[in-house]
Amino acid sequence: MSAPERIPPRGVTADAIDGAEAAELLAEGELTVRGRIREASNAALYCTVAHEDREVPCIYKPVAGERPLWDFPDGTLAQREVAAYEVSEATGWGLVPPTVLRDGPYGEGMCQLWIEAVPDAELLALVEGEEPGPGWKAIGFAEVGEGETALLVHADDERLRRLAVLDAVLNNADRKGGHLLPGGAGRLYGIDHGVTFHAENKLRTLLWGWAGEPLTPEALQVLGALRGGLKDGAELATRLGGLITPAEVAATRARVDALLATGRHPEPSGEWPAIPWPPV
């Protein structure tokens, strides 16, 4: 697959377009490739999508450009990205940019609204010492060169905490720092959800700062509502059934049940690396 080289992208701020309107525009508009994002591990194309009097930037990841993975079925990453958006919308937290599955210049693929990142409070940091300071949660120690280590921390931020809950539901195997996108208007988005929804536990994330802590009342309420949407025949379960396997839908429901049963954020299993590499 060949595509134009990357051009400097400009997106929209989080408050510039309604989510439902954006999803319709992504699904119905004319998709034009403007450049290629060379840093992406799979084919990721910077595009614009136009319909009637609106045009917005987006990212298009064609299924044909996905690299095979040993632990995920071939040609399923785009569907998983859309499924992540569906679950995010069901929580009411809006943590994933509007995302649809559609045809494009290189065949079927995921199409997601490109959000213009804006200056935001620092979300990740390396600090000296063995304990995080006020307003920070510890992730673990990282090598910083010449045998020295520093404590990697993330912000004690309610937006990140919601994302940690969503990732536990999605079974996100790749929550890196570079996948955290401040979108303006106080919004925070998570992107790159191709390796999610596996039926086996594969949670790998930087957001371990609340591991073992009680879930917030808000999270418990959201999870309770989400459990209803995942019942057989429910609207969300039906939509997910068109994107992931029945076993993966059942595993998602089981993860929600487990979170509600413990009432706590999950902890690393110790059976595999809990933090993705590279972490950022």
Cα-based distances in Å from 161 to 4, 8, 174, 216, 263: 38, 31, 16, 9, 14
**Averaged in consecutive runs of 10 residues, what is the pLDDT profile of the chain (280 residues)?**
44 65 93 88 91 91 93 95 98 96 97 85 85 91 76 94 98 92 88 96 95 98 97 96 97 98 94 78
pLDDT at position 4 is: 42
R_g over Cα of the chain:
19
pLDDT at position 271 is: 78
User: Would you tell me how many other CB atoms lie within 10 Å of the CB of residue 148?
Assistant: 9
Both tokens of residue 186? 């106080």
Q: pLDDT tens digit string along 65-117?
A: 999 998 899 999 999 999 999 999 999 999 999 999 999 999 999 999 998 88
pLDDT at position 192 is: 95
pLDDT at position 183 is: 82
pLDDT at position 1 is: 47
pLDDT at position 272 is: 76
Alpha helices by DSSP H, listed for the chain, are: 19-28, 77-91, 158-170, 217-229, 235-241, 246-262
